[in-house]
Amino acid sequence: ESADVVIIGAGPAGLVLGNILLRHGVDCVVLERADREGVENRARAGFLVPNTVRILERNGLDGGVRRGGREHGVCEFRTETGRFRLDYRRLGTGEPHTVYPQHELVADLMARFLDGGGTIRFGTEAAAVADADGPAPSVTVRDADGRPGRWRARYVAACDGRHGAGRRSLPPGTVRHHRDHGVSWLGLLAEAPPSLDAVGYAVHPRGFAGHMARSADITRYYLQCDRDTPADAWSEDLIWDELDLRMRASAYGPLVRGRIVQRSVVALESDVLEPLRHGSLFLAGDAAALLSPSAAKGANLAVLEAELLARALVDALVHGDPEGIDRYSERCLAHIWRAQEFSHWMIRLLHERADPGDAGLFRERLRHVRLASLRDSASRQDWFAEQYVGI
């Protein structure tokens, strides 16, 4: 079987790419390991930056976000010395986030692609990309029953995340910049309305706790935990007690409790692959770079890269102009490193605490000052707001 562009992965990156290509009449297919239900129910991100909404809008993909997305523009920091709020939609570039669960966005994009005549091969796992250094690459696949197959292409877009076939198929010499931040979060989805009208970031001697709205009856919480903690180590009561403690519910009001419907331990790690193009193979989304969830940039970068790649491939295939594909890697990397820098800054803002030994205490003192300057300095707040909603 063959298509001009074979896209591996039906996440935000693969589906934005597929929709734009389809709209420009480019022959493409999406290969997805999971079944449709599995893809539609994978709850993850929820905060879209303004640029993501603009990309969806200019490509006619914003129907669901317009209907179901809600503006969000305030965050609240709770620390040893009190709390402060930043109304970031009135700072910096003056723009809010849009809260829209990633799995709903993915469901919209998938429906749109299929309704427009696009093909998604569910239950099809890409094993490897072959001959990417020439003009006729191919993707070897296995279907759900383990039967092998092969897709031939002119270009292959690996949008299959950090453990996908794209990364496995890179030539020797590809650089992977990797950083383990040494911090883990227990990520939780609670069947409960939000407890505050803001993103909550609590810095506590027992570790970080976070609160992020998702919908009227689902809220995301995070609890910093030890690296080796199994996700089910804590009972629901213990989780809520710990959230209350770290979010300082006794001082600032109780959290609205509810059933924990999903939990996973996320190790805060970042990486960037360089370059993002190898002949006719391109990486986009988490396959290109992994962002720690500290600044909520991963899905937003995935959408940005997908649009850049789509335009580049349309130029190459429809107009015979290779400039976009030649510059794809360099363009994306500029955005990726900026997002990495801010995510890294957020990690240090929220986590440094005194471990035994001087180095921990030194870093903790710096963290106090970092938070205090965010509380007190108008120019620091503008910078924060610009980075927070920027990409």
Q: Which is nearer to ligand RFL, 12 or 50 (by Cβ)?
A: 12
Please indicate whether residue 293 is annotated as part of the active site. Answer: yes
Task: Measure the CA–CA gap between 154 and 232, rounded to whole angstroms.
Answer: 45
Q: What are the φ and ψ backbone dihedral angles of 203, each rounded to 5 degrees?
A: -105, 125
Q: For ligand RFL, which residue of 50, 210, 298, 324 counts as binding (CB under 6 A)? A: 298
Judged by CB under 6 A, which stretch of 295-303, 312-320, 344-352, 361-369 contacts ligand RFL?
295-303
Q: Does 268 bind ligand RFL (CB under 6 A)?
A: no
Question: Which among 8-16, 171-179, 252-260, 342-350 is the span making contact with ligand RFL, rule CB under 6 A?
Answer: 8-16
Choice from 6, 20, 39, 203 touching ligand RFL (CB under 6 A)? 39
Provide the 8-state DSSP code for 92: T
Q: Which is nearer to ligand RFL, 112 or 248 (CB)?
A: 112
**Near ligand RFL by CB under 6 A: residue from 126, 170, 314, 332:** 126
Does the protein bind ligand RFL through residue 75 (CB under 6 A)? no
Structure tokens at 157: 């877009």
Write the DSSP symbol of residue 154: S
Q: What is the C-alpha to C-alpha distance for residues 149 and 320, in angstroms, rounded to an integer? A: 30
Q: Which of 3, 26, 45, 209 binds ligand RFL (CB under 6 A)?
A: 45
If one asks whether residue 33 binds ligand RFL (CB under 6 A), the answer comes out as yes
Give just the sign of the alpha carbon dihedral 37, 39, 40, 42: positive
Stretch that binds ligand RFL, among 20-28, 31-39, 337-345, 356-364 (CB under 6 A): 31-39
Neighbours of 49 (CB within 10 A): 24
Our answer to whether residue 155 is catalytic in this structure is: no
**Ordered alpha helix ranges (H), the chain:** 12-23, 36-40, 50-58, 63-68, 102-115, 165-168, 236-246, 249-252, 298-319, 323-351, 358-376, 378-389
Question: Which of residues 242, 271, 286, 352 is near ligand RFL by CB under 6 A?
Answer: 286
d(CA 247, CA 242): 8
Q: How far apart are CA 388 and CA 82, in angstroms?
A: 22
Please check whether residue 187 is in contact with residue 37, taking contact to mean a CB–CB distance below 8 angstroms.
Answer: no
CB of 159 to ligand RFL, least distance (A): 5
Active-site residue flag, 388: yes
Determine the Cα–Cα distance for residues 244 and 238; give it in Å rounded to an integer: 10
Contact with ligand RFL (CB under 6 A) among 256, 266, 354, 361:
266
Taking the complex as a whole, the smallest distance from the CB of residue 360 to ligand RFL amounts, in Å, to 26
Minimum CB distance to ligand RFL, residue 379 (Å): 26
Is 275 assigned a catalytic role?
no
Q: Tokens 């072959």 label which residue?
A: 130
- 222 as an active site residue: the answer is no
Among 7, 13, 29, 109, binds ligand RFL (CB under 6 A): 13
- When asked if residue 285 is in the footprint of ligand RFL (CB under 6 A), the reply is yes
Name which position in 65, 159, 255, 304 contacts ligand RFL (CB under 6 A).
159
Is the separation of the CB atoms in 222 and 246 below 8 Å?
no
Distance between start and end Cα atoms, the chain: 37
Answer yes or no whether residue 96 interacts with ligand RFL by CB under 6 A. Answer: no
Which of residues 248 and 385 has its CB atom nearest to ligand RFL in the complex? 385
Q: Does 125 bind ligand RFL (CB under 6 A)?
A: yes
Residue tagged active-site, from 88, 100, 155, 201? 201
Q: With binding defined as CB under 6 A, does residue 44 bind ligand RFL?
A: yes
C-beta neighbour count of 304 within 10 angstroms: 25
CB 265 within 8 A of CB 173: no
The answer to the question of residue 10 lying near ligand RFL (CB under 6 A) is yes
Residue showing tokens 């709770």: 78
Q: Residues binding ligand RFL: what is the number (CB under 6 A)? A: 35
Tell me how long the chain is: 391
Task: Measure CA 100 to chain center.
Answer: 13
Single-letter code of the amino acid located at 239? I
Which of 19, 4, 44, 3 lies closest to 300, judged by CA? Answer: 44
Examine residue 7 and tell whether it contacts ligand RFL (CB under 6 A): no
Contacts to ligand RFL by CB under 6 A? 8-14, 31-34, 39, 44-47, 102, 125-126, 159-161, 164-165, 187, 266, 285-286, 293, 296-300, 302
Catalytic residues: 72, 201, 293, 297, 388
